[in-house]
Structure 1
Amino acid sequence: MTQFVDWELAARTARALGKTGPAVTFEEAASVVSDLRRLADEAAGHVAAFTGMEARPSPVRVVDRPDWAQANIDGLQRVLSPLADKLTGNGDPGPLGRVIGTRVTAVQAGTVLAYLSGKVLGQYEIFGADSGQLLLIAPNILDTERRLGADPHDFRLWVCLHEVTHRTQFTAVPWLREHFMGEINAFAAAGDAQDEAWAERARRAMSTIADAARDPDGRTSVIDAVTTDAQREVIGRITALMTLLEGHAEYVMDGVGPEVIGSVAEIRQRFNKRRGGGNPLEKVVRKILGVDVKLRQYAEGRAFVETAVEAVGMPTFNRVWTSPDTLPTLDELADPHAWVQRVCV
């Protein structure tokens, strides 16, 4: 099996570079963990009632930042190692692969995860051996609620509503996880493992990163710089799917919110302001890592879901989960009524 990444080194790098969480006593930490587990269970009932989707039970893990990074490293290793075999024919990675080396790639991966480990509030991790697991990152949730001055109960339930919606999507829709994994395999199959192609894309990536540093608010994409035309077609489909999933979770958390969270409007206002902030250096990092793309997915996906549900109601909107053919395209995300006409009428 081809080994592009020293995964143990990636984990050590993430632990070494990751920021420590907020100062808490043992009793406070235990209380947060207990609260999040209870609220995740409560959120499941709210999400089921609001969406009409029946989720299968799956694990809930309340973790710290290193544990979150390790869970993602485990999942990435499980997914990327077979993809590396496909890209290289299960052979030698070639001169460029040897120059870059598994250790350099590991440090890069660990650095990315260290950065994200301080930003992510929760995640439904689907790359695990089983159907997936819900991760709630306790120190980040606690740190964010303090920075926002939010009511702890309200903010924690609000976060749980979002993440439990993702769990519902992947467990209530039997084909969704397999479809997503299939798209990842399609991405790898559409690649070009030739050294010259990789070298040229590496040069374009470095130029793109420099552009991002000069213009943090631009729409520079490192992904576009390092992918083939065929891969960008796959990325378009993956982007459409992720935009739907993120927008659906945003719509559900805010739709349920007013009924069970007294301060939801204030939380949303403060949270959106925080999302759009950051110093110039952080904006560059977010752009390089693709975080800005995810932020746009929240807004664009939510607008799609809201418009579609208002047009046809939630039960009919749920036809979106029928098969890959009923998922919206990128064009339909910008024109929800076109999707409604195609799928719901």
Structure 2
Amino acid sequence: MTQASTAPQIVDWSAAAQIAGRLAAPGPQAPRDELDSLVSGLRTAAGDAVGHVLETTRMLPAPREGLAAWDDGGPLSPVVIVDRATWARANTQSMAAMTDGIGAVVAEVSKGATSPGAQMAGAAEIGAVLALLSGRVLGQFDPYSGPGRLLLVAPNVLQAEQALRVPVRDFRLWVCLHEQTHALQFAAAPWLAGHLGDRTQGLIAGMARTSAELAKARFDKKVVAIGRNVLATLRGEGGTIMDGMLTHEQKDELADITAVMALLEGHADVMMDAVGPRVVPSVRRIRARFERRRDGEGRNTFDVVLQKLLGMEAKLAQYRDGAVFVRAVERTVGRDGLNAVWAAPENLPTAREIADARAWVRRVHG
């Protein structure tokens, strides 16, 4: 665990971790031997996925510190099998790292540090949201915890494979192919975590200043602004509630950050399927059933509303937009041409290019 920052904080992250862990539902129950098999199966799948991902993507990790070249027998990152509560708590650590320094911006704008009461309110909100999300995430590569780590949420994998009725070995390997592709993205482009972190922190700092202006507005104007954005979100007119609170410049910056996230998710989605039925025999059946699950098959009304409010529909769009971009680039310049995207920050697609792969190819490849 990283040492707590002494800079002013906007959220009590320790409290957020406690709340998130306490509110996270435990998930499906199973006999001890089945759970042991699940954990060992996920660990094996995570190890097996590495070689397939390296071969399929045609990417290699950059040399690690103190090593002339990457050891092709080693892991891309540590793999941690977690429950929902642990995943939720781990994400408070990542969010604390991502927002480090924002408290100072808030203190500057509001002429004082965030009060303990406001920090606790933020902790309660973030803890509750992470607890809700903890039941929906199968795996996650976290580049902001030391050298990075791959988290696999065991109860969610168990629940998904039971609901989809697919071969468990295939499904676990399929999930790990996606997450190990993320691990490789950050290993091949060691500048990527810092680049995304800096851009996100800059956006959050700008939003903090904007929010300070909203805080000074009359109460009726606040209610109207927030209410309008909640309704727009529920009607599907925006990605999240916060979208309507952003300036034009912040929306442009958010769009470009979202484009990079779409690249990461779309690339991982394409590569996990490109490994093919030789490695994952039921890959086509898994993909078809998983897409129906993503599209909301079997969801109740409450879950639909909740996903809109949490911005999860925008997240799902990232997978699809990014996959369309990746496939379009590959059709034009091949997989090696696509891999130019990891060479430098300026090679990342913009928001316009993620929707127009030909524009990216013209800019990067001439």
TM-score, with length taken from structure 2: 0.87
- Name the SS for the 2:324 alignment partner: helix
Cα-to-partner distance string for 1:307-329 (whole Å, 9 max, x where unaligned) = 11121111121111111111111
| Match of residue 24 from structure 1 | 30
- Name the SS for the 1:260 alignment partner: coil
What is the correspondence of 1:165-184 to structure 2 with a 5 Å cutoff?
165-184=181-200
| Match of residue 49 from structure 2 | 43
- Name the SS for the 2:150 alignment partner: strand
CA RMSD of superposed structures (Å):
2.1
Residues 194, 260 of structure 1: alpha-carbon distance in 2 compared, 3 angstrom cutoff = closer
| Match of residue 351 from structure 2 | 330
How many Å separate the matches in 1 of 2:277 and 2:83?
Answer: 29
| Match of residue 282 from structure 1 | 303
Residues 206, 8 of structure 1: alpha-carbon distance in 2 compared, 3 angstrom cutoff = farther
How much has 1:193 moved relative to structure 2?
A: 5.6
How many Å separate the matches in 2 of 1:140 and 1:23?
Answer: 11
Kept after mapping to 2: 8 A contact 1:158/1:257: no
| Match of residue 288 from structure 2 | 269
Cα-to-partner distance string for 1:269-297 (whole Å, 9 max, x where unaligned) = 11111111122222221122111111001
| Match of residue 109 from structure 1 | 126
| Match of residue 64 from structure 2 | none
| Match of residue 135 from structure 2 | 118
| Match of residue 106 from structure 2 | 87
Residues 80, 285 of structure 1: alpha-carbon distance in 2 compared, 3 angstrom cutoff = same
What is the correspondence of 1:155-194 to structure 2 with a 5 Å cutoff?
155-191=171-207, 192=209
How many Å separate the matches in 2 of 1:219 and 1:181?
Answer: 24
How much has 1:221 moved relative to structure 2?
A: 3.4
- Name the SS for the 1:136 alignment partner: strand
| Match of residue 253 from structure 1 | 272
Cα-to-partner distance string for 1:214-247 (whole Å, 9 max, x where unaligned) = x3x5446312123233322221211110011010
| Match of residue 305 from structure 1 | 326
How many Å separate the matches in 2 of 1:284 and 1:151?
Answer: 31
Which stretch of structure 1 is more off in the superposition, 45-54 or 227-236? 227-236
How many Å separate the matches in 2 of 1:93 and 1:236?
Answer: 31
Work out the percentage of aligned pairs sharing the same amino acid: 39
Which stretch of structure 1 is more off in the superposition, 192-201 or 332-341? 192-201
Residues 308, 4 of structure 1: alpha-carbon distance in 2 compared, 3 angstrom cutoff = same
Residues 282, 93 of structure 1: alpha-carbon distance in 2 compared, 3 angstrom cutoff = farther
**Amino acid across the alignment from 1:263:** S
How much has 1:131 moved relative to structure 2?
A: 2.3
Kept after mapping to 1: 8 A contact 2:239/2:313: no
Cα-to-partner distance string for 1:172-224 (whole Å, 9 max, x where unaligned) = 112111111110122134331673334559542343224444x3x54463121
Unaligned runs of 5+ in 1: none
Residues 262, 93 of structure 1: alpha-carbon distance in 2 compared, 3 angstrom cutoff = farther
How much has 1:93 moved relative to structure 2?
A: 4.4
- Name the SS for the 2:147 alignment partner: coil
Residue 9 (str. 1) matches residue 15 (str. 2): yes
Residue 223 (str. 1) matches residue 242 (str. 2): yes
TM-score, with length taken from structure 1: 0.92
What is the correspondence of 1:122-137 to structure 2 with a 5 Å cutoff?
122-128=139-145, 130-137=146-153
**Amino acid across the alignment from 2:267:** H
Kept after mapping to 2: 8 A contact 1:32/1:138: yes
Residues 149, 194 of structure 1: alpha-carbon distance in 2 compared, 3 angstrom cutoff = closer
Which stretch of structure 1 is more off in the superposition, 111-120 or 20-29? 20-29
Residues 189, 99 of structure 1: alpha-carbon distance in 2 compared, 3 angstrom cutoff = closer
**Amino acid across the alignment from 1:84:** G
How many Å separate the matches in 2 of 1:72 and 1:240?
Answer: 22
**Amino acid across the alignment from 1:118:** G
How much has 1:139 moved relative to structure 2?
A: 0.5
How many Å separate the matches in 1 of 2:78 and 2:283?
Answer: 27
Residues 194, 259 of structure 1: alpha-carbon distance in 2 compared, 3 angstrom cutoff = closer
How many Å separate the matches in 2 of 1:83 and 1:334?
Answer: 31
Unaligned runs of 5+ in 2: 1-6, 62-69, 71-75
Runs of 4+ deviating beyond 6 Å: none
**Amino acid across the alignment from 1:85:** A
| Match of residue 147 from structure 1 | 163
